[in-house]
Amino acid sequence: MPEVPKVIYLDYAATTPVDPRVLEAMLPFLQAQGEFANASSWHRPGFKARAAVEAARAQVAALVGAEAGEIVWTSGATESNNLAIKGAIEFNATGRAHIVTARTEHKCVVDTCRYLETRGVGVSFLKPAANGIVSPEQVLEALTPDTLLVSLMWVNNETGVVQDIARLAPLLRERGVLFHVDAAQAAGKLPIDLRRVPVDLLSLSAHKLYGPKGAGALYVRRKPRARLAPQMHGGGHEWGMRSGTLATHQLAGMGAAFELAARRLEGDAAAVAGLRDRLWQRLRELPRIHRNGDPAACAPHVLNISFEGVEGESLRAALPGLAVSSGSACSSATQEPSYVLRALGRSDDLANASLRFSLGRGTTAAEVDQAAAMVMEKVRWLRSLSPLEAWEV
C-alpha cells in the first residue's frame, strides 16, 4: 500500500464540516419515518415541520440578538446578499439609487452591485486603507443625497479584517441610510448584538459555522422596518420576502449550529486565535513574508500571508497536503490575482503568492506546526529554484 499523504484542513473560512450534533438535529427530517412533510402543509406532519423551522429561526436569531420574526430563510449567504441589495434597491419608493460599498466585499456583493450599475444604479466602491480597514468617516464622505444603502462586510473572508460596524451603524441610522452587513464570516466568531448595533440587514450562512451547505438567512430589521422587494416569487413564504419550499433539515441544522456557536463563541474564538497566532509565530521565521490585513483588527480564525520570491500557482501546487485557499488558482492561466489583496495595494505577484489559512474547531497545535513546517520548506525550495533569487539575493 502506498502511503496516503495526510491532508491538513486549514480552510474553515471556505466551509466547515457539519458538527455531529448538528447532523443529529437534521436526521429526523431526512428519515422516511421522520418529520419529512412540507412545512407549508396544512396537516399535522406539516405543522411539526413548521414547528421545527420556527424553533430553528429562534436559535439563529438568538446568536445575533434579533427577534425570530426578523430572520428570513434563504439558500445561503449569496442569496441573502442578493436579496438584501437588489431587494432594497427595487423596493425603494424614494427614487434614491446610490450604493456605497467596498472593493474588498465578497464577490457576490461586488457582482450584485456591478449588475445594478448596468441598471442605472450608482455604486461607490471604496478603497480600503492598506490594512484593509474602511473607516466610518470614509463611508460618510461617500454618501450622497441619492444614497439608499451602504453594504459592508463585518469580517473579510480573505483577510479576516474586522470593520467597525458598531461605530458606523448609528451614524448611518442618523442619516437615514439603510445599512446591510454581510456577516457570513463574523457570526459565531465575534459577538454580534443587533439590539445594540442598528444594522438594518445582515446576511448569515450556515456552512461557515459547522452547519449544512444550502442554508442561510437574512436578518431584516422590524423596527424601524427595512422593506425589500422579493427576489424569489411564488407562494409567499417568509412574509412574502422569499418563496420556495423550506428545506426543513437544513434549517434545523442551521438552528442547531447557531445555538452551538452561541454557547461556544468565547471559548472557540480564544482557542482558534491562539492557534492562529502560533501559526504566525512559526511562519515568521521565513524572511520576506507579509501579513495581509490589520493584525490588530482581525477575526480570530484567519491568517493571510503573501510570500515574496515565489510564484503563486507553484506555491499552491507545492502544498498538496495542505487544504488552504490561495490568491491564485491552480491549473488556470486566466485566473486573476486576488482582487481583495490588490485593493489593499499588493502587487499582482504578491497577491498571487498568498495563502489564506483559516482555522476552526478541529484544528490542533500539531497540525499548525506541521502546516508551518510544510509551508516553510516549500517556500525555501521554490526560492532556491528561482533564477531571480539567484541573481538578486
Q: Which residues does the annotation mark as catalytic?
A: 330
Q: Which is nearer to another protein, 67 or 111 (CB)?
A: 111
Give the residue, chosen from 56, 60, 78, 84, that forms a contact with another protein under the rule CB under 8 A: 78
What percentage of the chain's residues is helix, strand, coil (to nearest 5)? 40, 15, 40
Report residue 115 as a C-alpha cell: 449588475
Give the separation between CA 333 and CA 9, rounded to whole angstroms: 25
Does the footprint of another protein cover residue 17 (CB under 8 A)?
A: yes
Give the residue, chosen from 175, 233, 263, 288, that forms a contact with another protein under the rule CB under 8 A: 233
* Interactions with another protein, residue window 328-347 (CB under 8 A): 329-334
* Phi then psi dihedrals of residue 325, to 5 deg: -95, 155
- CB of 116 vs another protein, minimal distance in Å: 9
- CB of 124 vs another protein, minimal distance in Å: 18
Binding mask 94-123 for another protein (x = CB under 8 A): ------------xxxxxxx-xx--------
Q: Which is nearer to another protein, 173 or 264 (CB)?
A: 264
Give the residue, chosen from 57, 180, 237, 342, that forms a contact with another protein under the rule CB under 8 A: 237
Give the residue, chosen from 51, 270, 373, 390, that forms a contact with another protein under the rule CB under 8 A: 390
The 3-state DSSP class for residue 150 equals strand
Q: Which is nearer to another protein, 27 or 129 (CB)?
A: 27
* Interactions with another protein, residue window 127-166 (CB under 8 A): none
Give the CA distances from residue 248 to residues 97, 184, 214, in Å, rounded to whole numbers and listed in that order.
Answer: 36, 21, 11
- Strand duo 354-358 + 147-153: pairing: unpaired
Which one, of 111, 119, 110, 118, lies nearest residue 90 by Cα? 119
* Interactions with another protein, residue window 195-224 (CB under 8 A): 207, 212-215
Q: How many residues bind another protein (CB under 8 A)?
A: 93
Does the footprint of another protein cover residue 296 (CB under 8 A)?
A: no
Verify cis geometry, omega within 30 degrees of 0, for the bond prior to 45: no
Give the residue, chosen from 45, 65, 170, 191, that forms a contact with another protein under the rule CB under 8 A: 45
* Phi then psi dihedrals of residue 348, to 5 deg: -55, -45
- CB of 105 vs another protein, minimal distance in Å: 10
Give the separation between CA 181 and CA 358, rounded to whole angstroms: 21
Give the residue, chosen from 147, 157, 248, 306, that forms a contact with another protein under the rule CB under 8 A: 248
Give the separation between CA 16 and CA 313, rounded to whole angstroms: 24
For residue 233, the Cα-to-chain-centroid distance in whole angstroms is 26
